[in-house]
Structure 1
Amino acid sequence: MKRLFLKSLVFTAVIAVSSCNSNKQATIKEDGTEAVKIRTQEEGKEEKNDTIAVQGKVNEINKGKDGYTAILTAEDGKIYYATISIPNLKDPKQYRSVTIGETIKVKGNSWKMEDDNYITVRELEK
């Protein structure tokens, strides 16, 4: 009896987990019927990152495990969080420490989270 209960519990858990990862999206129409749309992989992908170059003054530095994040104020007044680390740079020899107040130019992949602008730095110019 315990074995049967355990098997049914595991079976229920597997069904619950697999249904959470479903590619189906259901909507209820006004007449009470249900319409199911199957999402494709293309619809689930995030937007591609843009590559940008920013020159700005370093306001703050937050040290991390593999590098640091420099908070930059660009010439147009925008704030950027530039993550600078050896693994992310195209040429690891470009890696260097920067100081608060220094003006630097970075190139890399940009993305937004809420209202904040982030850059994964690929090139750190001197």
Structure 2
Amino acid sequence: MKTTFVKLFVLGAAIAVAACNSNKKAAVKEDGTEVVKIRTPDTTEAGKEEEKVETVAVQGKVGEINKGKDGYTAILTTDDGKIYYATISIPNLKDPKQYRSVQIGETIKVKGDSWKMEDDNYITVRELEK
């Protein structure tokens, strides 16, 4: 009797773990039937474009600063006119000692993970140079 109980318990635990790791999304219709959709990665060109992350170094003049919860976003304009939204926060920096406030009009150099959303360029700053 004990071994049967243990086997059922282990089987139930295995099913519960497998269900948590599932890529399926279920919805119940009004008539009681269940519709299951399997989430797959976005393989369209737009999806691939959004996933592209590259490391870049950018030097630009700070035009605006938007303060956030644990840092700020500095809007940088480079010499060639490109605009970057650089998110600068202690948790994202490789060395937290690099964190500092910048002023509007100051020219700074940042390195970090860059990506593009629509027509805007974003950088998660990993290094803030003085």
For normalisation by structure 2, the TM-score amounts to 0.67
Counterpart for residue 35 of structure 1: none
Tell me how far apart the structure 2 counterparts of residues 77 and 63 of structure 1 sit (CA, whole Å).
23
Counterpart for residue 51 of structure 1: 55
Counterpart for residue 3 of structure 1: none
Pair 11,61 (structure 1): closer, same or farther in 2 beyond 3 Å: same
Counterpart for residue 65 of structure 1: 69
Pair 114,48 (structure 1): closer, same or farther in 2 beyond 3 Å: closer
Tell me how far apart the structure 1 counterparts of residues 42 and 63 of structure 2 sit (CA, whole Å).
39
Structure 1 segments (4+ residues) deviating >6 Å: 8-11
Matches within 5 A, 1:86-101: 86-101=90-105
Cα deviation, residue 75, structure 1: 1.3
Pair 11,88 (structure 1): closer, same or farther in 2 beyond 3 Å: farther
Cα deviation, residue 42, structure 1: 8.8
Counterpart for residue 81 of structure 1: 85
Tell me how far apart the structure 1 counterparts of residues 87 and 115 of structure 2 sit (CA, whole Å).
12
Please report the RMSD computed on the Cα atoms of aligned residues, expressed in angstroms: 2.5
Which amino acid in structure 1 is aligned with residue 72 of structure 2?
Y
Structure 2: unaligned runs, 5 residues or longer: 1-27
Counterpart for residue 119 of structure 2: 115
* Equivalent pairs, count: 99
